[in-house]
Structure 1
């Protein structure tokens, strides 16, 4: 698969409402006959039926707490654009969004930064921010063996 084909596939996944996830995890190591997780890079586009993210609210906090938002990622709600429709509340897999006084509020502790809320918001009132310009470069460095 070429880079352009891979990017087109990611675009189709996003249009379908799937959540992009990239990283290394023990589960993939177990599924692939125990290869060391450092040797594997997971690229997943999670759907609502089996998404690990969606299971987080039901898991023991000792387990769910291990999945963290990447440093440098922040989501915000534009109160002037938000109509309080609640689409983002239903779209958040980790129950990090609630409506208060007719507007969406993101719990920054619970939020994992997947930005699904921004994707499903019909008013485009939720924005993903990268707080640090070197964030992407350092993240790629963390994922590169």
Structure 2
């Protein structure tokens, strides 16, 4: 199996002050009726300046958090969506993917805390989400 998908951070500002964020407990995205079931962890997410760096370990890649999801998050001097190039790849039969990414959102750690991490399938459809806490 060789597939790729996207990750993005969306939503409204939430909790403030926590410097290291993690998204776990992924649930199916509202309206997604496919067979993929995402599990795993995104994080710990750290912020240096306005760049968030995070590792991920997901399984099942290729409801509670969907009400908090909005457009791709970026702010300040970042004027072009930085999330369009963030992707995961899986070449395994069991659909697992592990890696690291960095993205300059223009926001601080406090700005991204409480936002929703969305996992997309290779067609760009939203398949799972979890809150960064």
Q: Which has the higher helix share?
A: 1
Larger-gyration structure (1/2): 1
TM-score normalized by the length of structure 2: 0.24
Compare relative contact order (CA 8 Å, sep 6+) and give the higher one, 1 or 2.
2
Q: Which has the higher strand share?
A: 2
